[in-house]
Structures are given as structure tokens and as C-alpha cells.
Structure 1
């Protein structure tokens, strides 16, 4: 898929690239990001380089993983001349099967608690449903990651349960929350009819 840029009222979401390496490296020194996400720990500069130069662009190229660097919109020069500001977060849409993808994200420590992550997640979800052929978007997080769960719920995900031993972190299997988001949850049409169970 050709890389593209999304924008919201306060944010610019554009495909991650080499220009994001330094801020990604700095952000991923945060113990909370290392604790609750799949980034390597310790997080070295070469991890940031590989992520921004190889993994991110490669996912767009092979149509498997769409990672956006989420940046503040700097409108100090006027709305029509919005430029990128500081790195706020990373958000990715990863294909998991026919019509199914998973939403993953992390936010920089200094920009948490302002609603940016929910705003970016909604933009990425809408794009996935409207332009990437996604019919079901999943979210997963280790049980206990209350901040990630709060973002998922604010984005519109229905928490569907707990998966036992579904994640590996630090060499240990851990339980995972899982949530699902459908186009109709955001008021969007779906390409295939959905027949829910009667149970």
C-alpha cells in the first residue's frame, strides 16, 4: 500500500521513517513503554534505527503493517500551513487474517493524559475500515495495562474477554485482555454482512 498521511484536529499521523529515530529512541527509554509493550528492553539506538528505517517502511511496502508516527500539528503559521510538531505516539495497524487487523500503540510520557492517543487511535481505526479493507479491528494488552485499556474503551472497543497465556513478555507467558471494534461501532458501513450469534 502506498504510504499516506492522516490528520486530526490536533495531530498529524504519517508513516514512520528515519526522521523519527531519535525521538523514538528517547521515548522508548521510558520504563512504562518497556514494561507494557513489545519493544526490546533495554531499548538501544539500533532498535530505533531498525524500527524507523526497516520495519516501519517495510510494513507499508508489503501491505502487512501500517505504522504511523503521531505528531502534534503546529498551526502557528496558519491552518493551511500546518507543520509537524513533537512526537506524541506511535500507532500501528497490523494485519492478522482476512479482514482482521490489530491496533497497537504507545504514547510518549510527556504527552499522556491529553486525549492524543484516543484521537490517533480513532483516526487509524477509521482509516483501516474505510481504506484498508479491515472488517474487524482487535486490541490486545497484558492484563493490568489499565492505561491501554482506557484508550481502547474510549476508542470504542468492546472488551471481549481475557486470553490465558496469550502474550510473552520478558520470557514469561502472561494473560491478555482482548477487545474488538467493528465498523458499525463507529457508524461506518461494512463490506460484508455480519450475523451475530444469539447466545
Structure 2
């Protein structure tokens, strides 16, 4: 599959490139990444270079994982990353710390879901989300992007060392389920 650009009201989602290595390295050294994500830790520039020159292009070529850079404009600096993995069309994302709190990730995640569910991925009728239990920032993005919280029997997520941690799950269809907003009560009580 060839990389696809997606535009939103405020963002351009395009291919992460080797020139993004400094930003990827800096963003992925955030202590929250160690706690909540499966990125290597400690994160080095070599990890960023491998991600940008090998992992991202091979994911697009095989359609196994489609990864977008989040930017404010064409040629602009990297703000974050959003991807969809082939297995269950699972969305994953992260945002650089200085770009959080402005709804940019929710906008990017919703746009990727809309693209997937409008035929961007053949046969996709749902997009899944999961995060380590306690990652309320990720859960807020999922809620804002129209995901409905679900509780599978084995609600876990793998960690970088191969173990698992308790996780929260959500699902999004092309038509946002009217129960979606209410499904987050209990874990996002009073969260804006």
C-alpha cells in the first residue's frame, strides 16, 4: 500500500520521514512512554532512525501497520504519531508533550478512524483501541474520537518485556454508537 495523506481542519497526517528523527527521539524519551507505551526504553536516536527508515516504510508496504506523522502543515515539524495495525485494525498514538491538551490527537485519531471505516482498509467495519489501565489521557482521546468502551474477557495489553498489564478497550464503528459517551463513566468521571 502507498502512504496516504489525510487532512483535517487543523492538521496534515502524512508519512513520518528520517528528518523527524530528532523529534521522535525527544518525544519518546518522555517518562510517560516508559509507563504506558511499548516503545523501547530507554529510547535512543538509533531507535528513532530504525522506526523511520525501516519500520514505517515496511508497515506501509505490507499494509501491516499504517503510520502517520501529525503535523500542522506540509513540511511542518512532527507533533505526534498515529497508526493502525492490521490485527483488528487497532489504533495507537502518541503526542509530543508540548502539543498535548489542544484536542489535536483526538482530531487526528477521529480522522484516521473515518478514513479506515470509509474503505481506507478493505473490509474494515470497526477500529479497536486499547491502553494500559490508568492511561486516562489516551482514554480521553478514544472517547473524543467516538470509541465506545468495551470490556473483553482478557482485558490486557502486552508490555515491552512480553508480560501483560490490565488494559482498557474501546471500539469504533463508522456510525458512532449513541452509547459511546456514557460507556466511559467509571473511568473518566468528570474528565473534560
Q: TM-score range by the shorter chain?
A: 0.7 to 0.9
1:66, 1:94 within 8 Å by CA — same for their partners in 2? yes
Q: TM-score if structure 2 supplies the norm length?
A: 0.85
| Of 105, 108, 111, the match for 1:120 | 108
Number of aligned residue pairs: give it: 175
1:118, 1:154 within 8 Å by CA — same for their partners in 2? yes
SS in structure 1 of the partner of residue 151 of structure 2: strand
- Structure 1's unaligned 5+ residue stretches are 74-82, 187-199
CA distance in 2, matches of 1:176, 1:8: 29
| Of 132, 143, 147, the match for 2:121 | 132
Is 7-16 or 165-174 further displaced after alignment? 165-174
Q: What is the CA distance between 1:173 and its match in structure 2?
A: 2.3
As a proportion of its length, which structure holds more strand?
A: 1
| Of 86, 96, 105, the match for 1:95 | 86
Correspondence 1:154-193 to 2 at 5 A: 154-161=144-151, 164=154, 166-169=156-159, 171=161, 172-185=163-176
After superposing on structure 2, the runs of 4+ consecutive aligned residues of structure 1 that deviate more than 3 Å are 162-165
Query: Residues 131-172 of structure 1: CA distance to partner in whole angstroms, max 9, x if unpaired?
Result: 212211000001100000000001000000265462233544
CA distance in 1, matches of 2:152, 2:42: 28
Q: What is the CA distance between 1:44 and its match in structure 2?
A: 1.1
Computed over aligned residues only, the root mean square deviation of the Cα atoms, in angstroms, reads 1.8
Q: What is the match of residue 66 of structure 2?
A: 66
Q: What is the match of residue 144 of structure 1?
A: 134
SS in structure 1 of the partner of residue 55 of structure 2: helix
1:165, 1:173 within 8 Å by CA — same for their partners in 2? no
User: Greater relative contact order: 1 or 2 (C-alpha under 8 angstroms, separation 6 or more)?
Assistant: 2
